[in-house]
């Protein structure tokens, strides 16, 4: 009896990396959209414990995501280039410009909602 073993390990690894990149992009986009939709444009402050309000909508526009193909990771959140350090005291609570803010999380809850969908996103994604 002769046995020949053929290994497609490199091809499978390549497909897995491509699939991961694609899925991380999808996760970044979904999480970003959920976070943006949770922020209402309103000049009045939101109640503590609820997502913040944005007077002009800058906080919504500041939420971006980027996928690092080499590190196989995704970063999602508001960019300081648009809103400066204002997002952190909203998310976690803390002092900003002399005022103390109660937490008004928006990124954490958005990620929690996305996590419930990850299994279905990744299922059968390597072909």
Domain ranges in the chain are 12-116
pLDDT score, position 2:
83
pTM, entire model: 0.84
Token pair listed for 107:
């990124």
88 contact partners, CB below 8 Å, separation of at least 6: 94, 96
Report how far apart the first and last C-alpha atoms of the chain are (Å, whole number).
32
- Whole-number pLDDT of residue 67: 96
For residues 34 and 88, the answer to whether their CB atoms sit within 8 Å is no
HSE value, Cβ hemisphere, 13 Å, CA-based, for 43: 0
Angle at 60 between CA 99 and CA 104, to 5 degrees: 40
* pLDDT surpasses 80 at 100: yes
Residue 123 has which token pair? 């299922």
pLDDT band at 119 (very low <50, low <70, confident <90, very high): confident
Query: Who has greater pLDDT, 3 or 110?
Result: 110
**Dist. CA 85–CA 7, nearest whole Å:** 51
Q: Encode pLDDT of 50-65 as tens digits.
A: 999 999 999 999 999 9
Secondary structure (3-state) at 35: helix
Band of pLDDT at residue 123, cut at 50, 70 and 90: confident
> What's the rounded Cα separation, in Å, for the pair 48 and 30?
25
Average pLDDT for 86-107: 92
Res 127: pLDDT: 72
């Amino acid at each position: 009896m002769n046995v020949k073993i053929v290994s497609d390990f490199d091809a499978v690894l390549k497909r897995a990396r491509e699939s991961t990149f694609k899925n991380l992009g999808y996760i970044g986009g979904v999480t970003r959209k959920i976070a943006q939709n949770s922020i209402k444009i309103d000049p009045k402050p939101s109640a503590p414990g609820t997502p913040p309000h944005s007077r002009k909508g800058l906080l919504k526009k500041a939420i971006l995501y980027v996928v690092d193909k080499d590190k196989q990771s995704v970063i999602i959140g508001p960019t300081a280039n648009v809103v400066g350090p204002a997002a952190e005291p909203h998310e976690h609570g803390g002092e900003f410009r002399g005022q103390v803010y109660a937490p008004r999380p928006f990124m954490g809850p958005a990620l929690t909602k996305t996590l419930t969908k990850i299994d279905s996103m990744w299922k059968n994604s390597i072909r």
